[in-house]
């Protein structure tokens, strides 16, 4: 009886993570839910097949099917999309930062009539806004425009502490460009390969 209820709790927690983060790779689920080795993680996830859709990138990626959505009360219907890599990169920042409970995705930051910007994710730690951005396939001109808007936001918003910007990107060259764009601000830029 105890084993069965522990299994149900673990499954529920995995489904709730998928509800919150939308797409998770097998290795991300392993780290978030401490599923042990690859073999055990695959076993746990195969036992949950009735709740999950699976697609393959470098490894299996999971997202909720209709039965899974019903079980955890999710209304967001997800499909196989070319944006999955973007989600997985953002999830790496979530895991890196210790799975913060205040984590929110696609947050619109607005100062009425002056500036509006959508952050890929945001969480608050020790009264500091941590603004997360994913740089996967977008043009550097888009990043430059975002950097300008963030500078303006920091200038005119009344933050108790200066926000910290956390980026994830794909190459050392792009990391250097992002660091230059945010010079003088609190910023960390990680490469995808560093976080897996």
Tens of pLDDT, residue by residue over 92-121, are 999 999 999 999 999 999 888 888 999 999
| Domains located in the chain, CATH noted | 2-80 (1.10.10.10), 104-195 (no CATH)
pLDDT digits (tens, 9 = 90+) for 60-92: 999 999 999 999 999 999 999 999 999 999 999
Give me the mean pLDDT over the 130-156 stretch.
Answer: 93
pLDDT digits (tens, 9 = 90+) for 19-56: 999 999 999 999 999 999 999 999 999 999 999 999 99
**111's tokens:** 């100062």
Of all residues in the chain, the percent with pLDDT exceeding 90 is 85
What is the three-class DSSP state of 9?
A: helix
pLDDT at residue 190 greater than cutoff 70? yes
Report the pLDDT value the prediction gives residue 160, as an integer from 0 to 100: 87
Report the pLDDT value the prediction gives residue 12, as an integer from 0 to 100: 95
H-run or E-run covering 52: strand 52-56
Confidence of residue 2 (pLDDT cuts 50, 70, 90): low
Alpha-helical (H) ranges within the chain are: 2-21, 26-33, 38-46, 66-72, 84-96, 140-156, 172-181, 192-195
Of all residues in the chain, the percent with pLDDT exceeding 70 is 98
Reduced DSSP (H G I as helix, E B as strand, rest coil) percent helix, strand, coil of the chain, to 5: 45, 25, 30
Report the pLDDT value the prediction gives residue 157, as an integer from 0 to 100: 85
Report the pLDDT value the prediction gives residue 3, as an integer from 0 to 100: 67
pLDDT at residue 1 greater than cutoff 60? no
Residue 145 in contact with residue 181, Cβ under 8 Å? Answer: no
Give me the mean pLDDT over the 115-135 stretch.
Answer: 95
Cβ neighbours for 57, distance < 8 A, ≥ 6 positions apart: 25, 84, 85, 88
Distance from C-alpha of 85 to C-alpha of 23, rounded to nearest angstrom: 9
Using alpha carbons, select from 102, 111, 100 the residue that is nearest to residue 154.
111
How far is residue 19 from each of residues 76, 104, 191, measured CA to CA in Å?
Answer: 8, 12, 26
**161's tokens:** 């502490």
Report the pLDDT value the prediction gives residue 95, as an integer from 0 to 100: 97
How far is residue 193 from each of residues 97, 146, 190, 196, measured CA to CA in Å?
Answer: 16, 24, 8, 6
Output Rg (C-alpha) for the chain, integer angstroms. Answer: 18
């Amino acid at each position: 009886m105890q084993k069965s209820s522990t299994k149900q709790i673990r499954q529920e927690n995995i489904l709730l993570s998928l509800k919150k983060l939308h797409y998770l790779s097998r290795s991300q689920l392993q780290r978030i839910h401490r599923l042990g080795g690859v073999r055990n993680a695959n076993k746990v996830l195969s036992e949950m097949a009735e709740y999950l859709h699976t697609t393959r990138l470098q490894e299996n990626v999971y997202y909720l099917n209709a039965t899974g959505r019903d079980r955890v009360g999710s209304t967001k219907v997800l499909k196989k999309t070319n944006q999955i890599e973007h989600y997985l990169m953002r999830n790496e920042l979530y895991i890196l930062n210790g799975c913060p409970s205040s984590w929110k995705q696609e947050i619109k930051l607005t100062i009425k009539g002056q500036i509006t910007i959508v952050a890929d994710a945001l969480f608050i730690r020790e009264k500091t806004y941590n603004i997360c951005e994913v740089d996967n396939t977008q043009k550097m001109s888009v990043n430059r425009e975002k950097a300008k808007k963030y500078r303006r936001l920091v200038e005119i918003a009344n933050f108790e502490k200066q926000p910290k910007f956390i980026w994830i990107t794909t190459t050392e060259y792009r990391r250097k460009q992002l660091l230059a764009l945010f010079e003088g601000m609190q910023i960390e830029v990680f490469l995808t390969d560093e976080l897996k």
